[in-house]
């Protein structure tokens, strides 16, 4: 059998899987977005009707703004920012202590998501039955309604504690893979920790920074499970993000067509951000061919 | 000896050769004490099997399935996808308001002929008004499983602290029922109780989306459904008064916490049963929950609460309560409709239904239940039944849930501080955007 035939034999199982579980659902979602499918599951085509409805839905600007605040604040403060900081600090200390702190940060990710969400609800329960308000009550202070006063902050922190661990692992691995010669040379030249970080570490983990930023942006754009459990988008749409609004429309109100149209827009939004990152991080440069050809 | 052997052989052969039919029932609480919604079907199967055995019929019925205690919306999602993927289930237990959508989509079977068949044995005895709750376009699609009232629970201990006499307290339900004591009167009492520090809060309502809020609409005379044209109605002028009430309870009178919507159920019930709240817009089933899940005794509860209809506003409307009968339905795709209906009929026996009512704090669906001794000695059942003349149902319309969602968004806006006139405009606009010609917006 010739080369191309063999290649197809090896590729076919994966191609079938990709078509079945990626291509077909995407095509179905796009087709669905042109229907007004509801709980009857009928494919009634209405052209651009759902997109017109989205354009006149006055909740949409609020949802879009929430999505941007939630995604980029979580990303900057936790999924990339905090992850990078923990990696830099824990790789600068003795390995035993570094591993200890990294394990601590891994704990939220090891907790089942529903349990984790309910724990946050319990912590910030607005009555004296919640953890924080119980402690306040012991000190003679009145209960505070944190979930109403600062719901966005709470969901960002709740998501961030989980999201930071993934970046932390990737950055730590990348930092540890940098040859120690660079650091020794810099130290001999009298470079400070900050100088070493800025001039050696960060440039050498740029690829990982691009990956974590792009991956976590897409992940945050589509994730909503903790928001669903902790605030369910409330109070009054203050934490309703695009993915959650899509879920509410499709699975609470059973407007599957409308939900699909919202999903299509979310995919476009995700693609735009991914392309922007490629541009920002100079992806072409990162993908330069190796100078030494290996046969 | 030979005869005994013969009998044993006969029974054994029946057991060996009897055809077993499995009936799958999907039932829901979501309150824990309502488990007889499932268990009564199992008891019905035992009774039916006994009849089959006695009659020498080689069929045995087995009931499988589940009793869901998670959440209405999760249960309904599961059912909807169960219909679509034609999962095997033969009996379905849900709220009556679901049958509008499910009957329209052809998911549930029409039951008029079955009801006629067993009318003289069982169904003649169902309290007539309940039949309205199980009809869609004039046809029966479900059998009532229970009903309920949503009493306005007022803490008597707090009223006493405010100086009310026993006579005043005893007369209050009657005064509310005949409209002498209005919602605005209640607000005055609640403000006083909060100011004097006898309670933390004057009024608690449910912390999630639900139908309870529609009682307040009725109190203000805000009709929300046009039966003749099967369309929702949003009367801006009337709904302004409703949203103004929600705005004021949290922002002006401060008798309800701003965090009411979103507070976990458990914390709400703990506050109500520990006397931190003057009044609770609840349901008869809460009585059972408070006993089973919150450690309260019958005596403690009777000492603490009086039960009344929800008061009318001085701006119009009427005192009221709302029933939400839970019903049994049969999926259209079930292969055992006849048998499933027979089980439902047997599970509707007065004594079986009564044990569900007693256990879960629900109300009878049959007249025969009201003469049973358990009924006569159960406080909440007796008091709850007194509220039924003030009761109404929500419409069996396919789009009710979406309408309810948008109305609820308005309540959230109002309670969080958005001005009522702005809320009315937002809700009207959203209703038009989402429900289009299925809603009529009345400007004045």
Pair B125, B218 in one domain: no
pLDDT tens profile B258-287: 989 988 899 999 999 999 999 999 999 999
User: Smallest Cβ distance to B263: which of A127, A237, A252?
Assistant: A127
| Secondary structure of residue B225 in the 3-state scheme | strand
Q: Are residues B259 and B242 in the same domain?
A: yes
A143, A126 contact by CB (below 8 A): yes
Query: Looking at the partner chain, which of B267, B398, B412 has a beta carbon nearest the beta carbon of A235?
Result: B412
Residue A291 above 70 pLDDT? no
- Of chain B, the percentage scoring pLDDT greater than 90 comes to 71
The average pLDDT across B320-342 equals: 94
Task: Identify which of A58, A59, A147 has the shortest CB distance to residue B259.
Answer: A147
Q: Do residues A246 and A63 lie in contact, with contact meaning Cβ atoms separated by under 8 Å?
A: no
Residue A18: pLDDT over 70: yes
Write down the pLDDT at residue A198.
92
Nearest C-alpha of chain A: how many angstroms from B311? 27
Give the residue with greater pLDDT, A3 vs A205.
A205
* Tens of pLDDT, residues B237-260: 999 999 999 999 999 999 999 989
Residue B9 in this model has a pLDDT that exceeds 60: no
- Do B408 and B284 reside in the same domain of the chain? yes
Average pLDDT score, chain A: 90
Residue B3's pLDDT is 46
Q: Is B417 an 8 Å CB contact of chain A?
A: no
Specify whether B336 is located in the same domain as B188: no
Q: Count of domains in chain B?
A: 2
Q: Give yes or no: residues B165 and B292 share one domain.
A: yes
Please name every residue paired with B279 in a beta bridge, in sequence order, or none if there are none.
B154, B203
For residues B121 and B194, membership in a common domain is answered with: no
Domain with residue B176: its CATH number is 3.40.190.10
Compute how many other C-beta atoms are within 10 angstroms of the C-beta atom of residue A292.
Answer: 5
Per-residue pLDDT, B100: 87
pLDDT digits (tens, 9 = 90+) for B155-211: 999 999 999 999 999 999 999 999 999 999 999 999 999 999 999 999 999 999 999
Please give the average per-residue pLDDT across B77-84, as a whole number: 92
Model confidence band, residue B1 (pLDDT cutoffs 50, 70, 90): very low
Residue of chain A whose Cα is closest to the Cα of B413: A236
pLDDT in tens, A71-109: 999 999 999 999 999 999 999 888 899 999 999 999 888
Nearest chain A residue (CA) to B408: A236
State mean pLDDT over B133-141.
Answer: 92
For the cut 50, the answer to whether the pLDDT of residue B8 exceeds it is: no
Q: What is the set of domains in chain A, with CATH numbers?
A: 65-246 (1.10.3720.10)
Q: In chain B, what percentage of residues exceed pLDDT 70?
A: 96
Looking at the fold, whether B267 and B124 belong to one and the same domain comes out as no
From residue B425, alpha-carbon distances to A111, B235, B243, B308, B397 in Å are 43, 11, 11, 33, 24
Contact B267 A251 (CB under 8 A): no
Do B81 and B174 belong together in one domain?
no
Over residues A243-263, the pLDDT tens digits come to 999 999 998 888 999 999 999
> Tokens in use for B364?
């009878």
Is the pLDDT score of A235 beyond 80?
Answer: yes
Query: In the Cβ-directed half-sphere of A199, how many Cα atoms lie within 13 Å?
Result: 12
**pLDDT average, residue stretch B85-113:** 93
Average predicted confidence (pLDDT) for chain B:
91
Interface of B with A in 60-119 (CB under 8 A): 73, 77, 80, 84, 101-102, 104-106
> Once rounded to an integer, what is the mean pLDDT over residues B275-301?
94
Same domain, residue pair B281 and B313 = yes
User: Residue holding tokens 């609470």?
Assistant: A252
Section B397-417 average pLDDT: 91
Kindly state the percentage of chain A with pLDDT values over 70.
96
- The answer, yes or no, to whether the previous bond of A134 is cis (omega within 30 of 0) is no
> Terminal CA-to-CA distance of chain A, rounded, Å?
23
Q: What is the pLDDT of residue B18?
A: 64
Asked if A134 reaches chain B (Cβ–Cβ under 8 Å), the answer is no
Does the structure show a pLDDT above 90 at A282? no
Burial class for B107, CB neighbours closer than 10 Å (0-12, 13-18, 19+): buried
Residues B289 and B408 in one domain: yes
Backbone phi, psi, residue B128, to 5°: -50, -40
What pLDDT does A288 receive?
66
pLDDT of residue A295: 55
- pLDDT value at residue B11: 43
DSSP string, B227-285: TTTTEEEEEHHHHHHHHHHHHHHHHTS--S-TTTTT--HHHHHHHHHTT-EEEEE--HH
Same-domain status, B157 and B233: yes
State the average pLDDT over residues B58-75: 91
User: Token pair for residue B393?
Assistant: 């149902």
Position B10 scores a pLDDT of 46
Peptide bond into A15 cis (omega under 30): no
Same domain, B268 and B165: yes
> CA of A272, closest CA in chain B: separation in Å?
28
Does the CB of A237 have a partner CB in chain B at under 8 Å?
A: yes
Report the pLDDT value the prediction gives residue B7, as an integer from 0 to 100: 44
Average pLDDT over residues B56-66: 93
What is the per-residue pLDDT across A131-169, written as a single tens digit (0 to 9) for each?
999 999 899 898 888 888 899 999 999 999 999 999 999
Closest CA to B203 of B258, B137, B166, B148: B258
Tokens of A261: 């149209």
Contact B306, B173 (CB under 8 A): yes
Burial label, A284 (beta-carbon count in 10 A; 0-12, 13-18, 19+)? exposed
For residue B106, the chain A residues in CB contact (below 8 A) are: 40
Q: Are A202 and A176 in contact (CB under 8 A)?
A: no
**The tokens of A129 are what?**
């039955």
Which domain, by its residues, includes B137? 2-148+324-392
Chain B from 240 to 279: CB within 8 A of any A CB: 257-259, 261-264, 266-268, 270-271
**How far is the CA of A258 from the CAs of A221, B99, B165, B174, B202, in angstroms?**
18, 23, 57, 49, 41
Report the gap between the CA of A50 and the closest CA in chain B (Å): 10
Q: Decide which of B372, B392, B412 is a domain's last residue.
A: B392
pLDDT on residue B370: 86
For position B348, what pLDDT does the model report?
Answer: 96
Nearest CA in chain B to A121: B264
pLDDT at residue B31, as a whole number: 85
């Amino acid at each position: 059998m010739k080369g191309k035939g063999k290649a197809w034999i090896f590729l076919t199982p994966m191609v079938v899987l990709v078509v079945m579980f990626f291509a077909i659902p995407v095509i179905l979602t796009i087709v669905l977005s042109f229907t007004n499918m509801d709980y009857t599951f009928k494919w009634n085509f209405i052209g651009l009707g759902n997109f017109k409805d989205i354009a006149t839905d006055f909740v949409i600007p609020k949802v879009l703004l929430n999505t941007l605040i939630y995604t980029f604040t979580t990303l900057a403060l936790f999924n990339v920012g905090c992850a990078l900081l923990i990696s830099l600090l824990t790789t600068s200390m003795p390995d035993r202590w570094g591993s200890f702190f990294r394990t601590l940060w891994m704990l939220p990710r090891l907790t089942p998501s529903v349990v984790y969400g309910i724990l946050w609800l319990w912590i910030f329960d607005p009555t004296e039955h919640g953890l924080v308000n119980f402690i306040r009550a012991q000190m003679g202070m009145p209960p505070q309604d944190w979930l109403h006063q600062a719901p966005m902050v709470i969901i960002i922190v709740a998501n961030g504690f989980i999201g930071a661990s993934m970046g932390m692992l990737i950055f730590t691995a990348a930092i540890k893979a940098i040859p120690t010669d660079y650091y020794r040379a810099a130290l001999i030249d009298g470079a400070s920790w900050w100088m070493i970080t800025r001039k050696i570490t960060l440039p050498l983990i740029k690829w990982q920074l691009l990956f974590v930023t792009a991956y976590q942006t897409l992940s945050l754009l589509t994730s909503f499970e903790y928001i669903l459990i902790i605030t369910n988008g409330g109070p009054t749409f203050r934490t309703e993000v695009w993915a959650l609004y899509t879920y509410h429309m499709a699975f609470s109100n059973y407007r599957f067509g409308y939900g699909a149209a919202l999903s299509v827009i979310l995919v476009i939004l995700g693609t735009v951000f991914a392309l922007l990152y490629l541009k920002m991080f100079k992806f072409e440069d990162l993908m330069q061919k190796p100078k030494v050809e290996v046969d | 000896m030979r005869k005994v052997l013969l009998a044993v052989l006969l029974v054994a052969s029946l057991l060996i050769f009897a055809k077993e039919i499995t009936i799958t029932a999907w039932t829901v609480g979501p309150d824990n004490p309502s488990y007889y919604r499932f268990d009564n079907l199992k008891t019905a199967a035992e009774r039916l099997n006994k009849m089959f055995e006695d009659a020498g019929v080689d069929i045995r019925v087995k009931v499988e399935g589940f009793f869901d205690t998670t959440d209405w919306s999760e249960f309904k999602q599961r059912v909807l996808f169960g219909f679509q993927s034609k999962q095997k289930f033969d009996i379905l237990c849900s709220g009556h308001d679901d049958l509008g959508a499910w009957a329209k989509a052809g998911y549930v079977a029409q039951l008029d002929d079955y009801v006629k068949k067993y009318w003289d044995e069982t169904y003649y005895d169902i309290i007539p008004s309940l039949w309205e709750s199980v009809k869609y376009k004039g046809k029966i699609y479900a059998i009532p499983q229970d009903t309920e009232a949503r009493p306005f629970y007022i803490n008597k201990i707090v009223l006493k602290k405010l100086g009310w006499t026993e006579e005043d307290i005893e007369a209050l339900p009657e005064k509310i029922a005949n409209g002498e004591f209005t919602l605005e009167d209640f607000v005055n009492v609640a403000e006083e109780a909060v100011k004097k520090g006898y309670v933390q809060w004057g009024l608690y309502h449910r912390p999630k989306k639900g139908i309870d809020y529609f009682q307040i609409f009725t109190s203000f005379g805000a009709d929300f459904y046009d039966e003749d044209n099967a369309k929702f109605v949003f009367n801006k002028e009337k709904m302004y008064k409703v949203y103004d009430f929600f705005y004021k309870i949290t922002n002006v009178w401060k008798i309800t916490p701003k965090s009411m919507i979103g507070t976990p159920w458990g914390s709400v019930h703990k506050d109500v049963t520990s006397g931190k709240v003057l009044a609770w817009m609840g349901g008869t089933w809460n009585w059972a929950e408070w006993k089973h899940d919150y450690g309260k005794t019958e005596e403690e509860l009777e000492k603490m609460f009086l039960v009344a209809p929800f008061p009318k506003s001085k701006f119009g409307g009427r005192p009221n309560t709302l029933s939400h009968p839970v019903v049994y339905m049969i999926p259209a795709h079930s292969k055992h409709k006849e048998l499933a209906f027979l089980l439902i009929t047997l599970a509707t026996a007065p004594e079986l239904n009564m044990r569900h009512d007693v256990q879960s704090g629900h109300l009878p669906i049959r007249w025969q239940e009201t003469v049973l001794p358990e009924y006569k000695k159960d406080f909440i059942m007796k008091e709850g039944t007194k509220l039924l003349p003030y009761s109404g149902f929500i419409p069996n319309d396919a789009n009710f849930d979406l309408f309810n969602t948008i109305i609820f968004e308005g309540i959230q806006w109002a309670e969080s501080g958005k001005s009522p006139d702005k809320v009315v405009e937002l809700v009207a606009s959203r209703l038009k955007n989402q429900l289009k010609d299925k809603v009529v917006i009345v400007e004045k």
